Amino acid sequence: MFDPIDPLLFYCCFPDDEEDVSCPHCQAQLTVPSEDVSGQEQFECCDCGKAFTIDWDERKIYYDG
């Protein structure tokens, strides 16, 4: 039987829609939405303003320009 107050059960059944990543330009810690974790998405760092792309399939971050 499942324990309804087990934090691991809650985490597995209700995953959050955010990922913590580091900006490849300035290394700032950022939280980005990850509703659909497949394909590629482009983001802009709120600290340095530079863009980067996350490839969710390869789990890699690429510099943009």
Q: State the chain's maximal CA–CA distance in angstroms.
A: 52
For residues 48 and 29, the answer to whether their CB atoms sit within 8 Å is: no
Q: Which pair of tokens denotes residue 65?
A: 């320009």
Instruction: Tell me the domain boundaries of the chain.
Output: 18-63
Task: Provide CATH code, domain 18-63.
Answer: 2.20.28
For residues 24 and 61, the answer to whether their CB atoms sit within 8 Å is: yes
* pLDDT value of residue 56: 85
40-48 CB contacts, 8 Å cutoff, 24+ apart:
47/23, 48/23
Query: pLDDT tens digit string along 10-65?
Result: 555 555 578 888 999 999 999 888 766 678 889 999 999 999 998 888 888 898 75
